[in-house]
Amino acid sequence: MSDINLIEVPKWGLSMEEGTITKWLVDEGAGFRKGDAICEVETSKITNEMEAPFDGVLRRILAKPGETLPVGAAMAVSADAGVPDSAIDEYLAANGSPAPEPVAAKAVPPSTEVAAPAPVPTPGTTVIPDSLAGSTNDDVFATPHALKLATKLRVDLGKVTGTGRIGRISVADVHAAIRAAGGTVAEPVAPQRNGTPAQSAQDDSGVNATPVARRLAASLGINLHDCRATGARGRVCVADVREAERKFLPAADPEVREAAPAAPEFEIVPLDSMRKAIGRRLQASKQNSPHFRLTADLEIDALLALRKQINATVPAVKLSVNDFIVKACAAALRKVPDVNVQFDEESQAVLRYSAADISVAVALPAGLITPIVRGADTKSLADISGEVHSLVTKAKTGRLQPEEFQGGTFTVSNLGMFGVREFDAIINPPQAAILAVGSGEQRPFVEDGQVIARTVLTVTLSCDHRVIDGALGATFLRELKRFVESPALMLV
């Protein structure tokens, strides 16, 4: 048994609880060396290539692409080429891991040792062989349609081999088992209607379709196998059902056409791992962190002038307003270190940091991630700009390393580029503060009795009242305002 090893879901960071296997980079039977990329694993924030922890041969893949497993769960088995499959089965059984039934054993049930031509099904008649009769269908992994059919026909699902995902039994598997055991399945022939073609009669419960399209097809008597799948992700949508309706149901049949009222179509989009993690963390933040918020207006005309001058005179440097905000926050945290903190829930203590590690919120199609500019208080504006650009690129391609987005002492979330004037942000625990940055816009100000225009942006500081009081938060905003409105201070 010493030649057999499990390959387990890795733990990348303290907050990782599960991983989704998205792609295997090594085929079963192929060898690999320690450090080789063997598969891709998606966590709540990133998709990374997992490196082999040792040399070996990939003998059996236990987790198929798309499966989500907890940290430490077995994904695959590595063993020397000379180790028999039976030894791997024994090892898996001894370690509490399932030994998947070989594909060859699933293809043909034991009762069909001698190949024989399948009986011709008699329309309208279903015959269940005695070998499949029974009703022990509790705790059997089957689709609702298959379970309902088996109950109706009194078929023992324990004698049916499932070919669906993770061995799930479908209606098609029940029909296949009946035919393989010598029985017949009723397949009524759909009559032609005024010369129109006959519709499919096979079960369409497994066809990938939107919920509204499925309901519409059922009400019209349309089989989903007769519909072209042109919807998102290869689904049959309402338009596809309507096309099949025009093909199979003549225009002179108003009763059928009026049977199904129009319904708004929607698509059920399951939460991915990133969105689930965001939900968990922000829900915990709202429950555990008593938020209060402070708002300030910052004049940025001097900042915009300095930015324009630097971008025009310094080669290969293109600073953004957000780069200045990140630098100003880091400088303000140096002046007000009691805001540069995290709250340790377990020990009920405040962790005060010497370095200003600024998390920068980045919007992705699947959610939000906050890569970190480490030691932003010690870096130049050019360094911050280059690092932010690199981190954003990695975030959008899913190649951030855990250490590049876990931690941080303060977060900047900027929606100004979307035209948002001001907003409230939720603290990212265990941090104790987050700054929400709106868009810069010209506003009228009265100065010496004259109305003049100033470029102003509004920022909102969300604080955890357990560790940051109102006066402390206001002190931080005062320092931030000083750096932003006198940007030359950030250069010395």
Q: What residues are labeled active site?
A: 465
282-313 b/e with 16+ CB inside 10 Å = b? eeebeeebebeebebebbbeebeebbeebeee
Task: Round to whole Å and give the CA distance between 270 and 36.
Answer: 32
Q: Provide the residue count of the chain.
A: 492
359-378 b/e with 16+ CB inside 10 Å = b? bbbbbeebbbbbbbbbebbe
- Please tell me whether residue 333 adopts helix, strand or coil conformation: helix
35, 58, 81, 85 from 78: Cα distances, Å: 14, 5, 9, 11
Q: Find, among 227, 175, 241, the residue nearest to 203 by Cα.
A: 175
Element (H, E) at 435: strand 433-437
Contacts 24+ apart (CB under 8 A), 448-452: none
For residue 76, the Cα-to-chain-centroid distance in whole angstroms is 23
Q: Find, among 22, 101, 99, 2, the residue nearest to 67 by Cα.
A: 22
Task: Round to whole Å and give the CA distance between 454 and 145.
Answer: 66
β-strand 433-437 against 410-414: which pairing, if any? parallel
- For every residue of 400-420, which 3-state class applies, written as one string? CCHHHCCCCCEEEEECHHHCC
What's phi and psi for 269, nearest 5 deg? -110, 105
Is the distance from CB of 215 to CB of 238 less than 8 angstroms?
no
Q: Find, among 347, 331, 405, the residue nearest to 374 by Cα.
A: 405
Q: Find, among 459, 467, 387, the residue nearest to 422 by Cα.
A: 459
Residue 392: both structure tokens together: 């954003």
Inter-axis angle of helices 301-313 and 470-485, nearest 10: 50
135, 142, 147, 156, 312 from 160: Cα distances, Å: 12, 10, 11, 7, 73
Task: Round to whole Å and give the CA distance between 403 and 259.
Answer: 58
Instruction: Fill in the DSSP letter of residue 345.
Output: T
Residue 458: both structure tokens together: 């509004």
Residue 473: both structure tokens together: 């938060």
Q: What is the DSSP string of 112-131?
A: --S--PPPPPPTT--B--GG
